[in-house]
Structure 1
Amino acid sequence: MTSRVVVLTGASSGIGRAAALAFAERGDRLVLAARGLADLEKVAARCGGSPLVVPTDIGVRAEVEDLADAAVERFGRIDVWADSAAVMAYGRFEDVPPDVFDKVVTTDLLGSANVARAALRVFRRQGQGTLILSSSLLGHITAPYMSAYVTSKWGLRGLARTLRQETRDAPGIHVCQLVPGSVDTPIYTSAANYAGLVGRPPPPVDSAARMGAGIVRLADRPRRELSVGAANRLTEFGFKALPPVYDALVGPMMGRLGLSRRRVAPDTGNVFRAAARVEGGPARWGRLPVAALAATATVLASSTVAAGVRRFRRGS
């Protein structure tokens, strides 16, 4: 299908921006939404084709409903709605202020619920449409110092599955999830921070463009879930199959690979307000961190084999 009408929430930066550029290259008609008007307009200029730009905070239900109405008024329908809007907070659970925790959940979980509600209202009327929710590897595993984000993404995973069950009566409606691993986007450096060190994506790190291409793939050929990340499957396996080993390793790994060495004072980041986009984060890695990742993968694999041998011996 060409010249689809595509709504993108979170379009001013990171994965949403990359998806907007990818859809524009295909010739689709775009509705771009995020909190920051200035960055949205820059993305619109890069896309060409006069996208509709609608500043929107997905955490505010009325704004999301207005966005859906504006898209239908302009283009007559919505074929695809891809949501990648998110904020993040670093720090131990008890160190993150309650209002910051609540706002992350409001944006990342309740905001996505607002998007789903508005999209399904239009899709039901049309009898078709594809909703793409950007989840995270952290919706399948857990990691310390990111409790609000992890809580949101686990909740979003449950919501998406429920929506798929509830739309079985409408074969033309699809609910999909993109599951990115580590991605070089601004979310790490713009996050609220109470950990004392600036966050960064642990290696291996993918580009936002690869995730944007994943969203286009889901729009072209909808499926329940698309996991994109070289370490996703191994990490998930370690989390599920070897909980004690995973829990023992994830803290040191997070401290070494998920946090940079750059110190930062406590700050709310962009949780409560839009911040100017600075694409990418401190994602460059030398030999030591990559070697540490390889060593951890070896430990997980060795532990898996050892656990399998022990089970086999007990069984025999």
Structure 2
Amino acid sequence: MSRQGGRRRPGAVVVITGASSGIGRATAHAFAKGGARLVLAARSPETLQEVAAECAAHGAQVITVPTDISEESQVETLMRSAVEAFGRIDVCVANASVYSYGTFEATPPDVFRQIIGTNLLGPIHTARAVLPYFRSQRRGTLIIIGSVYSKITSPYVSPYVTSKFGLLGFTEVLRQELRKAKNIHICLVLPATIDTPIYQHAANYTGKPVHPLPPVVSPHRVAKVILRNSKRPRPVTVVGQIQRTIIPIHSLLPRLYDQCINPVMNLIALQKGPTAPSSGTVFTPDPSSNQITGNWRTSRTRRLATASAILTIWSIIRRRRP
């Protein structure tokens, strides 16, 4: 554990997992600007120090606790360190995730297991470790970061979808079991496609370069939603208005959805050109590539996404003609 501090502020104590890049890093900045005292966790000690320095520059008190949330004992240490440093935990953001592309059969079993271990068991470990502190305080907010993939599906991302569907059920059960604990809140945030390095970090067994499905949303929008939930908790919040509209199509028109999603993934998510199989950062972090954004919102990628979307719509229209 390491500590960096700005001027002392009696702000909320916030634990953030997956704080080294993407949504977690943007969220750390947002809470730091609001005067929170931060406990930052991720697998990379080097990147955690960078994020801590960024947050300290906003005047926040920060400690870092290198943590692999797939290991329950490390999550227990994380929560204990937070309480030892600041006396309590007000908000816990369970954010860490890893990603992969590839058919179910092409995805190695150990990669599938590790994604489940990080994305599903990690938040479960987090909830198990933080809830006793919330119980003793009689208050606290757990914000779990799911995905729009908690409610829809697509080919080539089976372990990610499995983990995020699981989080939806898990948070619903927690909320039911904690009904009498009026000041303990369980929130689920469902981001759509977010401009983070998770796509560069993804394991890839498709044989092709990958690209996120448009439209791509800024991670700072997700951070604002998380910050808002910490003050005014909501059970479920979707971030990404356009992709939100896909959820009822998946539920109400499953045949149409199934017909459309394959060409969408094949034309947009999988790009031209061969690429070697890789486990990405599923098992080991890559500190050099940890940033808030993945630079997917450049004008070039937007033009590419628009062109691909037009081709996809045209292919769907042709498929559905009698």
- The two structures have a TM-score, normalised by structure 2, of 0.89
Aligned position for 1:281: 294
Cα pair distance change 1:130/1:155, threshold 3 Å: same
Instruction: Report 1:218-237 matches (<5 A).
Output: 218-237=229-248
Aligned position for 2:126: 115
Retained in 2: the 8 A contact 1:58–1:107? yes
* 1:131 maps onto 2:139 in alignment: no
Deviation digits for residues 151-185 of structure 1 (CA, Å, limit 9, x no counterpart): 00000110000000010110010000111000010
Retained in 1: the 8 A contact 2:187–2:234? yes
Cα pair distance change 1:130/1:23, threshold 3 Å: same
Worse-matched range after superposition: 283-292 or 158-167? 283-292
Q: Distance in 1 between matches of 2:314 and 2:272?
A: 25
Worse-matched range after superposition: 10-19 or 268-277? 268-277
Cα pair distance change 1:90/1:273, threshold 3 Å: same
The alpha-carbon deviation at position 230 of structure 1 amounts to 2.3
Aligned position for 2:5: none
The alpha-carbon deviation at position 115 of structure 1 amounts to 0.5
Retained in 1: the 8 A contact 2:267–2:312? no
Three-state SS of the structure 2 residue aligned to 1:95 is: coil
The alpha-carbon deviation at position 299 of structure 1 amounts to 9.9
Deviation digits for residues 21-42 of structure 1 (CA, Å, limit 9, x no counterpart): 0000001000000000111110
Retained in 2: the 8 A contact 1:188–1:198? no
The alpha-carbon deviation at position 231 of structure 1 amounts to 1.7
Three-state SS of the structure 2 residue aligned to 1:176 is: strand
Aligned position for 1:100: 111
The alpha-carbon deviation at position 256 of structure 1 amounts to 1.7
Instruction: Report 1:287-306 matches (<5 A).
Output: 287=303, 289-290=305-306, 292-293=308-309
Q: Distance in 2 between matches of 1:132 and 1:18?
A: 15
Cα pair distance change 1:262/1:37, threshold 3 Å: farther
* Residue number among 188, 198, 207 corresponding to 1:177 in the alignment: 188
* Residue number among 198, 207, 210 corresponding to 1:187 in the alignment: 198
Three-state SS of the structure 2 residue aligned to 1:152 is: helix
Percent identical among aligned pairs is 46
Aligned position for 2:162: 151
One-letter amino acid matched to 1:258: A
Three-state SS of the structure 2 residue aligned to 1:174 is: strand
Three-state SS of the structure 2 residue aligned to 1:263 is: coil
* 1:26 maps onto 2:46 in alignment: no
Cα pair distance change 1:281/1:198, threshold 3 Å: farther
Worse-matched range after superposition: 170-179 or 231-240? 231-240
Count residues with an aligned counterpart: 301
Instruction: Report 1:249-268 matches (<5 A).
Output: 249-261=260-272, 263-268=274-279
* Residue number among 90, 93, 98 corresponding to 1:82 in the alignment: 93
- The two structures have a TM-score, normalised by structure 1, of 0.90
* Residue number among 34, 38, 49 corresponding to 2:46 in the alignment: 38
